[in-house]
Structure 1
Amino acid sequence: MSSRTIMMIAGEASGDMYGGLLAAALLCRGPVRLVGMGGRKMAEAGVELAYPLADHAIVGWSGVLRSLFLFRRVLMQARRMLEEQRPDALVLLDYPGFNVRLARFAHSRGIPVIYYISPQLWAWNPGRIHEIRRVVDLMLVILPFEPGFYRQAGMEVEFVGHPLLDVIPPGLLGAATPPTRHGEVRLGLLPGSRRGELRHMLPTLLAASRLIVERLPRCRVVAFRAPGLSDADFGRLGDLPVEVCEADYAARARIHYALTASGTATLENALLGVPMCVIYRAGPLNMAIAKALVRIPRIGLVNIVAERDICPEFIQRQAHAQAIADAALPVLSDPARWQEVRRDLDEVRHRLGRPGASHRAADAIVAHLGLPAPSPHLLGSTAP
C-alpha cells in the first residue's frame, strides 16, 4: 500500500481512546501517516497531534456557551490543517458540534469524510441527518440499530461492532457473579468522569447508598474514581464507609450492583454483567436544553441498545435517594432476581457485536479509499 495521509479528529476522552485503537489498527495495514487532533491515547498510538483537543473536552450545553472562542479558534486551526496537509481522508470520531462543521469544510475541498462513532442524531436531532448525508461519505457505526437509521437516509453505512469489546479484557466480559443470600454484597458508585458530573451526582448516590446499607448491613460500598479525578474531588463522604478506588474493569466486575451516571459506563457495566440503575442529574440550563432537544424515551445506552427498559432510569427530580434505593435493594438481596437482570445484560452484550471493531473500521477505511488489502504478515496476530 502506497503511503497515504489520514487526518483524525477526536474531542473527548472516549473518542481519544477509540481513536488510539483505530490508529494502531490503521498502522498495521501498511505505510500511512496519521495526523490530527485528539489526546494522549491517539498520540501514543502514532498520531501526530497538532492540538490536544480531547484534553479540553466541552461538557454540556453550558460548557459549549462558555467555550465558544476556543471552539472557533481550534476549528480554524483544523481547517488550516486540511488545506495544508491535503489528507487522503478525514476520519471523525463523535464530537458532532465540532466535527460536522469540519466535515462540511473538508467536503467542500473534495476530501473524503469518514465518520467513526457516529453522532447520536437519532436521539437529539434526526432532521440533521440530511446535512450529514451531504458531507459524509461513509458512516462507521458502533450501535446495532444505527445502520437502519442511516440507510433510510440513503447513506453508505457499516456496523463494525462496539470498540469497548476491544478495551475490556476478554476474560472480564460477563465476569460478574451474583450475590449470595448471606454473604457480603458490593455496591458500586459510578458518578461520572468529570468534576461537574461528580458535583451533581455524588450527593444523591451517597444518600441512596446510606439507605441501602441501613436495609442491608452486609453491603459494602465502593466509589469508582475516573481517570483525571482524585480522591479530593470526592470531598467528604460523611459517616458512610466508602472505599474510593480507580475504575479498573477487574474491580468493577467484582461488584454486584452499580448506581451509574448515564453514559458509556452503562454499556461497560452491561459487558461486565453488572446490574445497575441509570441516573442523570444536570444543572438547570443543561437540563432545559436536553428536554427541548432529546427525542427518545430512554437515556441509558444499555436500555437504548436493548430497546426496552432492563435497568431503571432516574432523571433529575426523579433521581432521589429513596427511589434509587428501592430499585437496587430487590436485585442486591435476591440472587434469582439478579440472574434475571443478568440475562438481559447478556443480550445487550451480544447485540454489540464481537471484538475487533477497530480492525473492522480500519479495513472499511482502507477499502473505501480504494487501497489494496494489507498482507497478512502486516496484521500479525492483532486482527480479529
Structure 2
Amino acid sequence: MASSADKLSLALVAGEPSGDMLAARLLSGLRPHLPDARFHGIGGPQMMAQGFESHWPMDQLTVRGLLPVLMRYRELKGIQNTLRDQLLAERPAAFIGADYPGFNLGLEEQLKAAGIPTIHYIGPQIWAWRGGRIQKIIRAVSHMLVVFPFEEAIYQQAGVPVSYVGHPLAELIPLTPDEGAARRALGMPEDCNVVTIMPGSRMSELKYNTVAFVQAAKLLKARDRTLRFIAPMAGERQRAYFLQLVAQAGLQDVEIQLLDGQSHTAIAAADAVLVASGTASLEVALFKKPMVIAYKMMELEWQILRHFGYQPWIGMPNILAREFLVPELLQHAANPEALAEAMWKQLSDAPHRLRLAQRFTDMHHSLLRNSAVESAAAVLRVIERAK
C-alpha cells in the first residue's frame, strides 16, 4: 500500500490537547504504511512529534463553552475558511478531524461535498446531548472512528460508516498502576494520604472550579491533618491563573503541591481525586481511583445547557457504567461543603473503594485495543475506496 501512496497528502485538525493525543496515535499507526506522506493542517506538539506540519498554533483554536466560542466566532470562522480553501485547491487523499466537532464538522461538510473523503475521529456525544447533530454528521462524515464500544450501533443505525478502534488512554494507562512509584516520583512517603485536585486544564474551567475545589481541600484538611494535596497544572498560564484565583480568595494557607504537567503521576499517587468533568474523569477511572466529579460554569451558560442533556450522567465513568458509580456535583451543588463531604466518603469507605477498583478494571478491559493500528487501518481503507 505504501508504494502506491508516495507523496500522498493527508490533512488533519486537532483543536485541543485531547485531540492532539488522538491524532498523534493515529499518525504513529499511519506512518509505517505511508512513509512519504505529508501530514498537515492544525495540530499540537504530540502530532508535530510525528512529523506533522501545523499551519496555525493549536492554542488558537482551544476554546470551550458556548459564549466564549460566540465571542471568537469571526476569528475561528476565518481560520476555517482559509484552511478550507487551501484543502479544496490541494485535494488531499482524506481529511481527518480529531474531535473538536464545532469546528471540524463544518469543515468536513464542505470538503465531503467537494468529493474529499472525511474521517472524524471520536464520535461527538450525540448520545449525551444534541442528538439532532446526527443529520449534520451524515452530511459531513465519510467514516466515523469511535472510542467507546456502545457508539458503533448508534452510527450504524444512522447509516454512518463507523469503526470502533478502542480508547488510546486504555493503552497508555497500565492495568495495574504503581501507586508507590508515583509517590516516590513526587517525593512523597508511600504511606501518606493523598488527594489530587484537578479543576481543569482550560482557563474557563479554572475560573469557575478552582476556588470551590481549594475550599473543599481546606475543609478536608480540617478533618484529617495528615492529608496531602497535589494539583497538576497544564502549563505556566494555568499555574499562574490558579495561584491568582487562590490568592484572591484568601486561600494561600491551603498547602497544595503544584505539578508541571504530570497529571497521570498525580492521579496514580492519589487515594482519591476531585476532578472536573471531562476526559480527566475517564483517566481517573482507568487508574482505578475513587473520585468526585464536579463542574461549574458561567451561570447563563448553565441555564442554557442544563436542559439539553439526554441522560442523568455527565461523567464518562458513570456513562459507561450506566449508573452513578461516583458522585457528580454540578454548578450550585458543587459547593465546598458538598465537595468535601463527598470526597470524605470516597476516602473513608474501604469496601466501596474495592468495588470501584473492580468495576474500573472491567471498564479498562472493555476499552483496550491497539488504537494506533485500528484507527490507521480504518483510514487506509477509506483512502483505498476513494481511489
Q: Find out whether 1:195 has 2:196 as its counterpart.
A: no
Shift of 1:250: 2.4
Q: Find out whether 1:304 has 2:319 as its counterpart.
A: yes
CA distance in 1, matches of 2:139, 2:195: 47
Indicate how the Cα distance of structure 1 residues 220 and 316 shifts in structure 2: closer, same or farther if over 3 A, else same: same
Count of matched residue positions in the alignment of Structure 1 and Structure 2: 365
Give the alignment partner of residue 13 of structure 2, picking from 9, 22, 36. Answer: 9
Q: Secondary structure at the match of 1:22?
A: helix
Q: Find out whether 1:317 has 2:321 as its counterpart.
A: no
- Segments of 5+ residues of structure 2 without an aligned counterpart are 181-190
Shift of 1:266: 0.4
| TM-score, with length taken from structure 2 | 0.89
Q: Report if the CA contact (8 A) 1:24-1:46 is conserved.
A: no
2:185: which partner in 1? none
1:343: which partner in 2? 358
CA distance in 2, matches of 1:332, 1:123: 29
1:143: which partner in 2? 148
Indicate how the Cα distance of structure 1 residues 260 and 184 shifts in structure 2: closer, same or farther if over 3 A, else same: same
CA distance in 1, matches of 2:265, 2:219: 26
1:377: which partner in 2? none
After superposition, the C-alpha distances for 1:252-281 in whole angstroms (9 at most, x for unaligned) are 201100000001100111111111010010
1:208: which partner in 2? 216
The 5 Å alignment of 1:149-188 reads 149-168=154-173, 170=174, 173-176=176-179, 184-188=192-196
After superposition, the C-alpha distances for 1:325-370 in whole angstroms (9 at most, x for unaligned) are 222212312433321222222222122223x212210011112222
Give the alignment partner of residue 333 of structure 1, picking from 318, 343, 348. Answer: 348
1:251: which partner in 2? 266
CA distance in 2, matches of 1:344, 1:38: 34
| TM-score, with length taken from structure 1 | 0.89
2:98: which partner in 1? 93
- Segments of 5+ residues of structure 1 without an aligned counterpart are 178-182, 372-384
Letter in 1 for 2:326: C
1:380: which partner in 2? none
2:188: which partner in 1? none
Q: Find out whether 1:57 has 2:57 as its counterpart.
A: no
Letter in 1 for 2:25: L
Q: Report if the CA contact (8 A) 1:184-1:220 is conserved.
A: yes
Q: Report if the CA contact (8 A) 1:37-1:54 is conserved.
A: no
Q: Secondary structure at the match of 1:122?
A: coil
Shift of 1:228: 4.7
CA distance in 2, matches of 1:282, 1:206: 16
1:288: which partner in 2? 303
1:367: which partner in 2? 381
After superposition, the C-alpha distances for 1:107-140 in whole angstroms (9 at most, x for unaligned) are 1110111111122222221122122113311111
2:125: which partner in 1? 120
After superposition, the C-alpha distances for 1:170-198 in whole angstroms (9 at most, x for unaligned) are 3x754448xxxxx5311110010022211
Indicate how the Cα distance of structure 1 residues 229 and 340 shifts in structure 2: closer, same or farther if over 3 A, else same: farther
Indicate how the Cα distance of structure 1 residues 296 and 369 shifts in structure 2: closer, same or farther if over 3 A, else same: same
Letter in 1 for 2:372: S
Q: Secondary structure at the match of 1:293?
A: coil
**Superposition CA RMSD, Å:** 2.1
After superposition, the C-alpha distances for 1:204-260 in whole angstroms (9 at most, x for unaligned) are 111111221222222111122123545432223432222111342223201100000
Indicate how the Cα distance of structure 1 residues 137 and 173 shifts in structure 2: closer, same or farther if over 3 A, else same: farther
1:71: which partner in 2? 76
Letter in 1 for 2:9: T
> Which deviates more, 72-81 or 234-243?
234-243
After superposition, the C-alpha distances for 1:57-106 in whole angstroms (9 at most, x for unaligned) are 12211111110111110011111121121111111111111111111111
Q: Report if the CA contact (8 A) 2:171-2:368 is conserved.
A: no
CA distance in 2, matches of 1:323, 1:139: 39
> Which deviates more, 22-31 or 156-165?
22-31
Q: Find out whether 1:264 has 2:279 as its counterpart.
A: yes
Indicate how the Cα distance of structure 1 residues 294 and 93 shifts in structure 2: closer, same or farther if over 3 A, else same: same
- Between the aligned residues of both structures, percent identity stands at 34
Q: Report if the CA contact (8 A) 1:191-1:205 is conserved.
A: yes
Q: Report if the CA contact (8 A) 1:12-1:55 is conserved.
A: no
